Amino acid sequence: MDNTVYIIGINDSSEMLTENKFSDLFKKATFVAGRKELVKLLLPNFSTSITEIYYDDGYTKFLNTLSTLRGTGIIFAAGDPGFFGVTRSIAQAINPNRLKIIPAPNSVSLAFALIKDSWDDAVVVSTLGRDTREVLNLVQAHNKTAILTSTQFGPTELGKAILGCSNFNNHTFAKIYIASELGSQNNLIETDLNHLARDSFPPRAVVILIKNNVSTKSLAFNSFNPDEKNSITFGREIDHFKAKKGMITKPEVRSFAIGKLYLKPNNVLWDIGSASGSIAIESSLLVPGLLVYAIERDEEAFNNLNDNIDAFSAEVTSIHSDAASVLCNLPTPDSIIFSGGGIEVFKHGFSFLKSGGHAVGLFASPDRACQVAEILGNMTQIVANRGEKLKDGSWRLSGSNPVFVVWGVK
């Protein structure tokens, strides 16, 4: 018995009905699956004894039922089932060797074709089963975003979520498009953020967001050393950054601290007391898509911070303020580095960290470090004795002031 399960990507069911290019396959199928509306539309092409299963009855239930079925199966999916589609979950539910996948053009490629633009520089994300905050982080971090919306979270809900975030306004985006009925009617609407949040649109769509002043700079570019482009580089020397005297984290401490932040793409990092911004900048360059906020209250240090961000073309949002005034307006952090400030600043910032998030504190004072270590649970002292070459050609070690690094998970 043939146990092949065909996942067929379609964009237009009416074209499938008229061309009937899968008629032989339909005749031998023992079960058919997909969205109920679509399966019912195509059902006359199948035998009367065929078993029907639907996504609409609950996707977990669908996968459980699918795992019990034998024989030739047909599963209908939108566009390319391997592109934010059903392929991964189905391959986990049944033996992947049973699968044969027949993709159609995916919805994102069709949407960008409608607006006559390339999409190799776009970030693509689906709202289905994803935390809204993660979607907003991606929109914040990238200049061109394509968002696949769903019946649970359509274009209007997306617009309201973006408009409700203090980092966006109606002037953030140069172009906003909603593409729907892709592969059949190919509907395209150009709108703005206010109308996106207010008007009604088909829930299953591709929303394309293109920001004003789109930058073509590479995140990896370093004006101090072009050879660093496309390399994994951190722990840069202090002369790579403009800094107020004494207000920069040494490379050895910076490298250790970044390692304890457990940074991930699409997460949020706060650098409180950022000073030169060396940690914020290197974190951003190491993890594209990371949403980084650098908070600094000292005016001279803040100016240096902005100059350094520009020099490295880093995706870092700088904020000239004390922590107490601004943190409540920022996205909830997954990681926080406390580069400056006392115990009260730490406690205030730590209260915003999400459960399971990582915190790192840098202290010159052992007393402050010990107090924070009681909360975070880990502490080490870093002293970097750097080699210096003497006039006679010999070397000596030159000591530096110790720094106490405290870290842990909330």
Residue 288 domain-assigned? yes
Write down which residue in 70, 104, 138 finishes a domain.
104
Residue 282 domain-assigned? yes
What would the two tokens of residue 196 be? 């996106």
Residues 237 and 327 in one domain: yes
Q: DSSP per residue over 120-173, as a string?
A: TT-EEEE-TTS-HHHHHHHHHH-SEEEEE--SSS-HHHHHHHHHTSTT--TTSE
What pLDDT does residue 16 have?
Answer: 58
- 12: pLDDT confidence band, cut at 50, 70 and 90? low
Residue 216 domain-assigned? no
What pLDDT does residue 265 have?
Answer: 81
Q: Tell me, what CATH number does 360's domain have?
A: 3.40.50.150
Query: Domain count of the chain?
Result: 3
Between 227 and 292, residue with greater pLDDT: 292
Residues 239 and 204 in one domain: no
Residues 47 and 127 in one domain: no
pLDDT at 58 over 90: no
Residues 265 and 282 in one domain: yes
Residues 120 and 87 in one domain: no
Residue 239 buriedness (CB in 10 A; 0-12 / 13-18 / 19+): exposed
Residue 220 domain-assigned? no
If we measure between CA atoms, which residue out of 309, 262, 310 comes closest to residue 290?
262
What pLDDT does residue 90 have?
Answer: 94
Model confidence over 275-317: pLDDT tens digits? 999 999 999 999 877 889 999 999 999 999 999 999 988 889 9
What pLDDT does residue 20 have?
Answer: 66
If we measure between CA atoms, which residue out of 287, 248, 259 comes closest to residue 378?
259
Q: What is the mean pLDDT of residues 83-97?
A: 91
Q: Tell me, what CATH number does 44's domain have?
A: 3.40.1010.10
Residues 402 and 297 in one domain: yes
Residues 187 and 257 in one domain: no
pLDDT at 223 over 50: no
Residues 247 and 393 in one domain: yes
Is residue 33 a contact partner of residue 74, using CB atoms and an 8 Å limit?
Answer: yes
Residues 82 and 172 in one domain: no
Residues 162 and 289 in one domain: no
Model confidence over 30-56: pLDDT tens digits? 999 998 888 888 888 888 789 999 988
Highest average pLDDT, of 166-175, 223-232, 371-380, comes from 371-380
Residue 360 domain-assigned? yes
pLDDT at 162 over 60: yes
Residue 219 domain-assigned? no
What pLDDT does residue 225 have?
Answer: 47
Residue 326 is part of which domain span? 226-409
Residues 361 and 231 in one domain: yes
| Geometric angle at alpha carbon 60, from 24 and 32, rounded to 5° | 10
Residues 254 and 402 in one domain: yes
pLDDT at 239 over 80: yes
Write down which residue in 211, 236, 263 finishes a domain.
211
